[in-house]
Structure 1
Amino acid sequence: MDQPTVGILHPGSMGAAVAACAATNADAVLWCETGRSSASTTRAAQFGLTPVATLSELLDRSDIVISLCPPAGAEDLARDVAGHRFAGMYVEANAISPARGQRIAALLEPDATVVDGSVIGSPPVGGKAPTLYLSGPASATERIEALFAGTAVRTSALGTEVGKASALKLAYASFQKTSRVLVALAVGMAREHGVDQELIEVASRRTDSYLSEPQYVAKTAARAWRWGPELEEAADTLAAAGLPPEMLRAAASTLARWNDAKDGELTLTDALDRLAQP
């Protein structure tokens, strides 16, 4: 099979790195520069992506489109793509609820073939090797597996049902992200009473405790603008299963206090100060 042309929507830190891996087995990887920030332009150039002027041009030239964007924008982005009657393969790889993934598939089909995807792990740079989980038609997931063969992005097919990959991502994120929010609250409470170092010492006696490594709080604050909406998607998924969503909604609300720290370089003190001042 000829090497496909791939379009990436949009090259954030994860999207650009994943797209660069796809370039190994693709003829070209395109991105649309219109309306994107200078940081996106710099990142896309760094990873060797090819700029195009419009979404229409990207869709006309692409055999496979990968959507990796903040979850709140995933459905609107898919609606834009559907408006162009895109007839290739659309990999919906955002951290969204299975129900939202199924709505997106309904928007794009039958013109496009939709694969539900989710990335678990850090961006594939510096030796990191995340896994791209896939669910959808077998022939389509096999094609995506071939696209990333021999790269730092591992792939794993979960079956043919759209929504399975999204469910796995949100189930994992529910623990990973909420546990970090709880660390911030615990350390913030202890700091207010002058016992934060003692708290960390207590936690360090236990293995695998985020509480013993509060430097993660600053990293959590910098990612809050992305993680909050992701936890809202996870809360929706809990509610759809008849499970209580309130804890995840509270974690998302807590993260919102850090929204203006987007991808910034914060210290632990800065992060805790912002958390204490809504």
Structure 2
Amino acid sequence: MAQPTVGILHPGSMGAAVAACAAANAADVLWCEAGRSPASAARAEQAGLTPVPTLPQLLDRSDIVISLCPPAAAEALARDVAAARFDRVYVEANAISPARAQRIAALLAPDTTVVDGGVVGSPPVRGKTPSLYLSGPVPATESIEALFAGTAVRTVVLGREVGKASALKLSYASFQKTSRVLVALAVGMAREHGVDQELIEVAARRTDSYLSEPGYIAKTASRAWRWGPELDEAADALEAAGLPPEMLRAAASTLARWNDAKDAQELTLTDALDRLAQP
């Protein structure tokens, strides 16, 4: 079978790294320059991706399109793809609720074969090996497995039902990301009373607790602009399942206090806690 041409929407930190892995088994990996930032262009160049000027050109040349964008943009992006009547494989790999994944699949039907995807783990760089969970039609999921065979992206097929991969992604994210928010609040409260070091010493006796990793608070702050919308999606999924969504909505609201720290690489623990207390 000939190697496919792949389109990535869009080369953020995760998208560019995943696309670079796909390049090992693809004829070419394309990205669309229209409307993208200089930072996106730099990531795409570093990943060895091929630029195309417009979305219709990317869709016309691609056998597989992978959507990896902020959750709030996923549906609008799918509408643009649907308007172009893309008729090959579309991997909806964003951190969105199962219901939204199903809406996107319906939006793209009947022209497009939709595979639901969910990435669990960090971008596949510097030895990191995230898992890409997949659910959808068998021939299409097999093509995605082949695309990432032998790369740092591990693929796991969960079945044929669109929504399963999104459900697993958000189930994990709801625990992992909310736990990090709770750590920030706990350390922030302890610092206010001058007992933050003592709290960290207590937590150090429980090495399986996120509370023993206060240094991660700064990373949480720099990623809050992405994590907050993920937790809102997870809250929607909880509500749809008849489960209480309030805890995740509160965590998303807390993360919003850090929205101006987007991708800040030099943020310290002190800076992050200061921004949390005085947004």
Residue 107 of structure 1 aligns with which residue? 107
**Letter of the 1:214 counterpart:** P
**Letter of the 2:172 counterpart:** Y
Q: How many residues align?
A: 278
Structure 2: gaps of 5 or more residues = none
* Structure 2 residue 68 is the aligned partner of structure 1 residue 71: no
Equivalent residues in 2 for 1:6-45, closer than 5 Å: 6-45=6-45
Q: Deviations over 1:220-257 (max 9, x none)?
A: 00000000000000000000000000000000000000
Q: CA deviation at 1:111?
A: 0.3
* Structure 2 residue 241 is the aligned partner of structure 1 residue 241: yes
RMSD: 0.5
Extract structure 1 runs of 4+ deviating beyond 2 A: none
Counterpart-to-counterpart distance in 2, 1:15 and 1:244: 32
Residue 213 of structure 1 aligns with which residue? 213
Q: Deviations over 1:48-78 (max 9, x none)?
A: 0000000010000001000000001000000
Counterpart-to-counterpart distance in 2, 1:270 and 1:125: 27
Structure 1: gaps of 5 or more residues = none
Residue 273 of structure 1 aligns with which residue? 274
Residue 231 of structure 1 aligns with which residue? 231
Counterpart-to-counterpart distance in 2, 1:154 and 1:103: 26
Residue 52 of structure 2 aligns with which residue? 52
Residue 222 of structure 1 aligns with which residue? 222
Counterpart-to-counterpart distance in 1, 2:248 and 2:152: 31
Residue 87 of structure 2 aligns with which residue? 87
Residue 137 of structure 2 aligns with which residue? 137
The 3-state SS of whatever aligns with 1:158 is strand
Q: CA deviation at 1:215?
A: 0.5
Residue 193 of structure 2 aligns with which residue? 193
The 3-state SS of whatever aligns with 2:159 is coil
Q: CA deviation at 1:207?
A: 2.3
**Letter of the 1:258 counterpart:** W
**Letter of the 1:153 counterpart:** V
Residue 158 of structure 2 aligns with which residue? 158
Equivalent residues in 2 for 1:173-192, closer than 5 Å: 173-192=173-192
Residue 117 of structure 1 aligns with which residue? 117
Counterpart-to-counterpart distance in 2, 1:225 and 1:249: 14
Q: Deviations over 1:29-62 (max 9, x none)?
A: 0000111111100000000000000001000000
**Letter of the 1:69 counterpart:** C
Q: CA deviation at 1:210?
A: 1.2
Deviation larger for 205-214 or 90-99: 205-214
Counterpart-to-counterpart distance in 2, 1:255 and 1:218: 12
TM-score w.r.t. length of structure 1:
0.99
Counterpart-to-counterpart distance in 2, 1:253 and 1:268: 20
Counterpart-to-counterpart distance in 2, 1:41 and 1:143: 27
